[in-house]
Chain A
Amino acid sequence: MKAYIRSAIAISPQKTFNNPAFLDDPAEYRNSRLTSIEPDYSEAIDPRSIRRMSRIIKMSVASALACLKDAGIANPDAIVTGTAYGCLEDTGLFLTNIIQENEEPVTPVAFVQSTHNTIGAQIALLIKCSRYNNTFVSGGASFENALQDALMFLSENNAANLLVGAMDEITDMSHVVLSRLGLYKRQPVSNLNLFDTNSKGTINGEGAAFFLLTNTSSPNDLACIDAVATFYKPEAATELRQLIDSFLVSGSINYSDIDLLILGNNGDSKNDEIYSQLQQSVFNGIPSINYKHLCGEYPTSTGFAAWLAANIIKQNNIPVVLNQGKIPKNKINKILIYNHYQNIYHSLILMSSC
C-alpha cells in the first residue's frame, strides 16, 4: 500500500495556493481564529458554477481542480474526501431558514448542499466523473480514513490514480459555539508565538488540501505515502508507544530511519503533554517541527500537515517559520506525521521521498 503524490494543493490560512514561495512570508493572526486566504475563485472555477457554492465548497473545489490540473489528469479513477464538520455554513443557513420561515418550505439549495458529501459530488459534477466517490466523516480521523480508503482503492481496484482531499471550515456560529466550550485561548495571541504561551486553549483553524495519488512513480512526484494508521482513545502513553512501535515494525521502519517528525502540538498545555511525553521516550532525538501555528486546530488539519510534508520532501527544505534554524540541513527522506485531535483520534502518516 504505497501511493505517489503527483500533486498537492492547499488553501489555508497561509499563502499556499497558486504556487507562492514555500511559506517564506507567514501570515500572522492576533486572535484565536485563523481564516483561509482565498484566491479569486473566478479564475479557478467556472463563474456559472460558483453562485451557489459556500466558502468550503469553493475552497475545496478550487483546490481539487488545481490539483488535477497540476497532475495533468482530467478525470481521476476515484474521488475520496474527508471532513468532520462538512458544509457548516449551509447547514447553519438551512436550520436558520427553517426557524425564520416557521417550518414552512424553505429554499432547497442550503439543504442540498449541507450534506458532508456535497464537496465530492460537486467536484465529480464539474469534471463529469461518475466513478467511485466516497466521503469519510469520522471526526479527527476523517482525512486519515479517506487516505486509507484511497490507498486500498489504488492497490485493490486496478485504479491508476485518484483524488483525495481534506477540508473543514469555520463559520461565525461554529466559532462562537466552540469558543464557549473553552477550546480556544481567551487572551489574544499571535499564532507565530503559539507555542510560547503555555496556557489553556488553542487557535481555531480551517482549510482544504487535495492530493492526486497514483500507483506508479514519475519524475514529478512530490513524495510517497507509505502508510497511515489511526488509534481511537488509547488509554495511556504506554499503549500509544506500543501502537507506534507496531506501526513502524509493520513497515520495517526503525525510529532512526525517520528524518523529521511533524507533530500536532496546538499550544494548549494539556493537549501538548502527549507530544512531550513521546519526545522524551520513543521520539527522543528525532528532529521535529509543529504546524498548527500556521493553519490552526481543526479535525482535518493533517491534510495541511501532509501538504507540508510533501513539499518539505520535494524541496528538501524546511521553511524558517517551522524550523528557525534548529534542524540541520540533512537530506529529508522520511517524515512521520503524528497528530491527535482532543486526545480522542490519534493518527500516524508515514511519507518518504520517491
Chain B
Amino acid sequence: MDQLIADLKGQIVVQLKLKNIKREDIGDDQPLFGGGLGLDSLDVLELIVLLKQKYNLRISNPEDGLKVFQSVRTMAEFITANRVQNM
C-alpha cells in the first residue's frame, strides 16, 4: 500500500501539472478537493483518466468518485480493492 500511495502521488503531480508541489508535499489523507490541494472539476476528469491509463480501472458510478477521490489513500484503497476483485 505504501508503495502504491507513493506512486500515486508522483503520478498526480505529473498528470495534473501541479506547480511548486512535490510528491512528498502531499499527505496520505490530505483532501484532494475543497481546500486541500485546491483541485477542481477538470482535475477529477484527469484523475479518472489516470486510473484508466495506469491501472485499467473505470469508475462506473459517479457517486463512487466522491469517495475514491477524497485523498491519495482512498484512491490507493480503491485500486487495491478492485485489483483484488479482478484477480
Interface residues of A (CB under 8 A from B): 47-48, 50-52, 101, 104-109, 112
Measured between C-beta atoms, what is the minimum distance from B40 to chain A in Å? 10
Whether the pair A52, B38 counts as a contact (CB closer than 8 A) is no
Measured between C-beta atoms, what is the minimum distance from A99 to chain B in Å? 14
Whether the pair A105, B42 counts as a contact (CB closer than 8 A) is no
User: Counting CB contacts under 8 A, is B45 at the interface?
Assistant: yes
A-B Cβ contacts below 8 A, count: 30
Query: Which of B18, B45, B49, B53 contacts A51, CB < 8 Å?
Result: B18
Whether the pair B52, A51 counts as a contact (CB closer than 8 A) is no
Measured between C-beta atoms, what is the minimum distance from A113 to chain B in Å? 10
Can you show 9 pairs from A to B with CB atoms below 8 A apart?
A: A47-B19, A48-B38, A51-B19, A104-B53, A105-B49, A105-B53, A107-B49, A108-B46, A112-B42
Q: What per-residue 1/0 map shows which CB atoms of B33-62 lie under 8 Å from chain A?
A: 000001000100110110011000000000
Whether the pair B38, A51 counts as a contact (CB closer than 8 A) is no
Measured between C-beta atoms, what is the minimum distance from A159 to chain B in Å? 31
User: Counting CB contacts under 8 A, is B20 at the interface?
Assistant: yes
Whether the pair B38, A106 counts as a contact (CB closer than 8 A) is no
Given contacts A51-B16, A51-B17, A52-B17, are A104 and B46 in contact (CB under 8 A)? no
Q: B residues within 8 A CB of A52?
A: 17, 42
User: Counting CB contacts under 8 A, is B82 at the interface?
Assistant: no
Instruction: Tell me the complex Cα distance, A101–B49, Å.
Output: 11
Identity of the chain A residue whose Cβ is nearest the Cβ of B38 in the assembled complex: A48
Q: A residues within 8 A CB of B38?
A: 48
From A47, A48, A106, A107, residue with most partner B Cβ within 10 Å: A107
Query: Which of A48, A50, A101, A109 contacts B46, CB < 8 Å?
Result: A109
User: Counting CB contacts under 8 A, is B30 at the interface?
Assistant: no
Instruction: Tell me the complex Cα distance, A276–B52, Å.
Output: 59
Given contacts A52-B42, A107-B15, A109-B42, are A47 and B49 in contact (CB under 8 A)? no
Q: B residues within 8 A CB of A51?
A: 16-19
